[in-house]
Amino acid sequence: MPCAARPSVTIAAGNSFAAPRLLVMDAQKTRVFAAVSPEKMEIYEAERRAAPLGSPRPGELRVTGTAELCYPADRASVRVRVSSSKESINEASNSVSRRLDYILQCFRQQGVKDKDTLMRKFLQREEDQYHVNAEVTVAFSDFTKMEQVCRALLEKLDKNVTVGLTHYYHSPECLSQLRTRVCTSAVENAKKKATEISLLLGQTLGPPLLVVEEEIREVHNDFFNVNELRPSTNLSIPSVTASSCVSITFGIKDKVKL
């Protein structure tokens, strides 16, 4: 009697180093679609050389990672103006000098250094009057001290002393730290993604072969509410939001079975 059809075995293998899989298929649908070459290392190297420049090659995994961080301004400057009008130039100058000495003393008591202070004087004559004006611009990194000293000046000095609006800005050190942190955060996210993908595929993640920061953006925002950082104040200051996108190529290989 005729023999029953027996299922055939087809060996399927790609150009990776994974062990060949045995697929049991129906005899009428058998197709040989790949073959295992004994020179697989030579094929692997040839494919690496033939891959287009910049594209992942066999044995490599490319992932992207993104991150976004927001930093409030870390510096503020205040301009204090002093003016006096007298018939005598000496009287006008002395009046301004006394107020300037008090203002500078208040700043020093709050820990403001001389290098963070800029002072200018202006002299003008109109008929029999001499007008002496002075400006003191002070940079602060402690906003609480800035508010305290400005309030004290307004309370203790007369109307000849005016305190201008506060100008907030980011120091070069702050911007540099922001760019570094957002880039490293993007790299961390990319590595985490690559680790999860390699585990899912049963591969071992190797060292990074190429790291490229594809894009970096900075957006200056009008206000950043710092109430959560400093509950004692309702201060709102400008901020900068930086975002980074990196592309990392890792080497991957099969897990070693013990």
Q: Are strands 167-169 and 161-163 parallel, antiparallel or unpaired?
A: unpaired
Among residues 54, 58, 68, 65, the alpha carbon closest in space to that of 210 is found at: 54
Q: Are strands 8-12 and 60-72 parallel, antiparallel or unpaired?
A: unpaired
How far is Cα of residue 131 from the mean position of the Cα atoms in its chain?
A: 48
Domain covering 60-72+172-254 assigned CATH 3.90.650.10 in the classification: no
Residuewise pLDDT in 10s, the chain (258 residues): 444 443 333 333 333 434 334 333 443 433 333 333 445 445 545 555 555 555 656 788 999 999 999 999 999 999 999 998 888 888 889 989 998 998 998 888 888 888 899 999 898 888 888 899 999 999 999 998 898 888 888 888 878 888 988 999 999 999 999 999 999 999 999 999 999 999 998 888 999 999 999 999 999 887 655 444 443 444 578 999 999 999 999 998 887 654
Domain ranges of the chain: 8-50, 60-72+172-254, 75-169
The predicted model scores a pTM of 0.65
Reported as type and span, the H/E element at residue 215 is strand 203-225
Reported as type and span, the H/E element at residue 169 is strand 167-169
* Proportion of the chain in helix, strand, coil states, percent, rounded to 5: 30, 40, 30
At residue 234, the pLDDT reads 47
3-state DSSP assignment of residue 56: coil
CB of 160 closer than 8 Å to CB of 80: no
Give 75-169's CATH code, choosing from 3.30.70.120, 2.40.50.100, 3.90.1720.10, 2.40.110.10: 3.30.70.120
Measured CA angle at 143 (ends 243, 223), to 5 deg: 40
Amino acid found at 214: E
